[in-house]
Structure 1
Amino acid sequence: MMAMTRKGPFKLVTVNTAPERAKKLVGHMIEGLKDRYDIEHVDNCSTIEEVAPKVKQHQPNLLFSASMWTSEQAKEIREIAERERPGIATHAIPQGLQVERGPEAIVEYLLENVPALLDSIEC
């Protein structure tokens, strides 16, 4: 049987007002997907204003906005990211997921949803 090659490397920027929590949760997701994907969490934006400069600086393939943002804010974050890095893959974690179901639910959600997103990206 052939060994599956890992896809990547992917550079990920998160948009989360709690940078340490973002790092921890994304770390769990990266660990859970490491056999299939090479993902590096390069930075976190604590505010929407940080999105443009950090996307410009790091040129990530991926940007995740956390569950504390409203759908309007998530849309604004996505538009800023796409303006700075055309072709970037963005994903908004559903609003309120962390509050309603806790951090484990976020990790589970990411493990379920991120592979399809990564598979759609040309490396």
Structure 2
Amino acid sequence: MSPSGPYKLVTVNTAPDRARRLIGRVVEAVKDKYTIIHAANVDNEEDVPAVVKAVQPDVLFTASMWSPEQSQRIRDGAQEIVPGLKTYALPQGLQVDKGPDAVVEHILEKLPSIIEG
């Protein structure tokens, strides 16, 4: 069976290199099940609408440095631009508290329900 997708992913992370590395690990880990293209990273809240409009992603993740309120605002705004956009907010502080491996594990655990839910 071939992987489902491709799914265009936009991340909202103030550390773009870290976002690319972590999502690269996720993409590699799920390549048999999903084809995920990390289409863009946005490193500030203000640029999210323009990037979402340009990329038209299938999925948007907000990183763990955003507060729940910021993350909700970012995700709501993106869904206004792309109705049906699947979004996910990493729990605030996950990267700082538990490190990059925990972030990758968390995404891998949640990804099927995000994409298929």
Partner of 2:21: 24
Percent identity, aligned pairs only, is: 50
Bigger-Rg structure (1/2) = 1
Partner of 1:108: 105
Partner of 1:9: 6
- CA RMSD between the two structures: 0.6
Partner of 1:52: 49
Instruction: Tell me the TM-score normalised to structure 1 length.
Output: 0.93
Equivalent residues in 2 for 1:70-89, closer than 5 Å: 70-89=67-86
Partner of 1:40: 37
Distance across 2 between alignment mates of 1:55 and 1:6:
24
* Runs of 5+ unmatched residues, structure 2: none
Instruction: Tell me the TM-score normalised to structure 2 length.
Output: 0.98
Deviation at 1:115, TM superposition (A): 1.5
Partner of 2:58: 61
Distance across 1 between alignment mates of 2:53 and 2:112:
25
Distance across 2 between alignment mates of 1:119 and 1:83:
20
Q: Which contiguous aligned blocks of 4+ residues in structure 1 show a shift greater than 3 angstroms?
A: none
SS at match of 1:14: strand
* Runs of 5+ unmatched residues, structure 1: none
Deviation at 1:5, TM superposition (A): 2.6
